[in-house]
Amino acid sequence: MILGSNSMDKPGQYQQVETIGFFEKWLSIWVGLCIITGIFLGNLFPDIFQFLALLEYASVYLVVVILIWVMIYPMMINIDFSSFKNVGERPKGLIITLVVNWLVKPFSMAALGVLFFEYVFVDIVNPQDAQQYIAGLILLGAAPCTAMVFVWSQLTKGDPVYTVVQVTINDLIMVFAFAPIVAFLLGVTEIVVPWETLILSVVLYIVVPIIAGAVTRKIILGSLSQEREDALSKFSANIKPYSIIGLMATVLLLFAFQAPTIIEDPMRIGIIAVPIVVQSYGIFFIAYFASWLWRVPHCVAAPSALIGTSNFFELAVAVAISLFGLSSGAALATVVGVLVEVPVMLSLVTIANKTRHKFPK
């Protein structure tokens, strides 16, 4: 928490600290309740959520964009942009992220898809559906996270500057590497990258929040003085609860959007989720263990591992729909990835926070 040392002497600020700690301490419970509520409301009022789902452009839900802004804006305010020049002095986190994201993750996801749908689940999934599910998993594996990683980084007290640089470099590589990797793994000769989705997502999830944070920081700080620094800390502490609220609202909304599918065929959702969950934990521990071996500070190690674990769902869903159709098994697999992410990522955030003491500061 970013508060002055005398904050405990002021009743209003003390109350704020307790409220934030309460929400963060029991975050998994709140998210679980949001999942249940989202499924309930999505089935009770399907027309409302179908309307909200139609408010999209290039496969990007506009309502979700607003909620993600609410989530990551508090983190962006705390970024000291003058520190960007120092990121190059700590290259280990970047190296681990790039190696895991681009040399391991797409291929391990493809391998797990084949393992589960051509062997483990061969008796309960017909071959045509199996190939569709594998294709959807490949699309997920080739698209590392852009937006939500800022939330996971904040929850693990990650270095915000380093996280921004990691995500930005990942996105630049994605522009050139996504289509060739997907084409190779799917055996498709031509992959049409949905540039509108890719560019719009980068602008909305990175450029706009960074600009908003920089402008807010400049307005509050004005000049470098202790009084101004205290004002920034107080403002940051006051808006931080909205980040958690935005996360919970996003979870509720995503599960409400997919509520009919979850209720109609929960068995199929569960089957598709299995390789995604195995992949998520596997990728996290590969990157996290590599960071531990290489003595990477925890504020860099945790976001480095979480970036590869999470996925760029907007891009994966858009490509699945364009290649295989809206009602395809591939599109369904990418959507299941959305549903699996938050519970899995919260568990990994918990693991990262409980093992902080094993990393250098």
Residue 37: pLDDT over 60: yes
pLDDT at 13: 38
Structure-token pair, residue 2: 């970013």
Tens-digit pLDDT profile for residues 257-269: 889 888 988 999 9
Tens-digit pLDDT profile for residues 223-244: 556 677 788 888 888 888 888 8
Which domains are present in the chain?
Answer: 7-358 (1.20.1530.20)
**This prediction's pTM:** 0.82
Residue 81: pLDDT over 50: yes
Mean pLDDT throughout 322-343? 87
More confident residue, 172 or 322: 172
pLDDT at 144: 85
Helix (H) or strand (E) holding 57: strand 56-57
Residue 167: pLDDT over 50: yes
Mean pLDDT throughout 128-139? 93
Residue 69: pLDDT over 60: yes
Tens-digit pLDDT profile for residues 3-26: 333 333 343 333 333 344 556 667
Residue 336 — very low, low, confident or very high, per pLDDT cuts 50/70/90?
A: very high
Tens-digit pLDDT profile for residues 94-110: 999 999 999 999 999 99
Q: Which residues pair with 144 in a beta bridge?
A: 311
Mean pLDDT throughout 333-349? 91
- % helix, strand, coil for the chain, step of 5: 80, 0, 15
Q: Pick the closest to residue 100 from 355, 345, 291, 320 (CA basis).
A: 291
Residue 359 — very low, low, confident or very high, per pLDDT cuts 50/70/90?
A: very high
> How far is Cα 232 from Cα 77, in angstroms, rounded to an integer?
8
Tens-digit pLDDT profile for residues 181-194: 998 998 864 666 78
Cα dihedral sign for 57, 62, 64, 67? positive
Q: Which residues pair with 61 in a beta bridge?
A: 56
pLDDT at 71: 85
Burial of 88 (0-12, 13-18, 19+ CB in 10 A): exposed
Q: What percent of the chain has pLDDT over 90?
A: 40
Please, what is the average pLDDT of the chain? Answer: 85
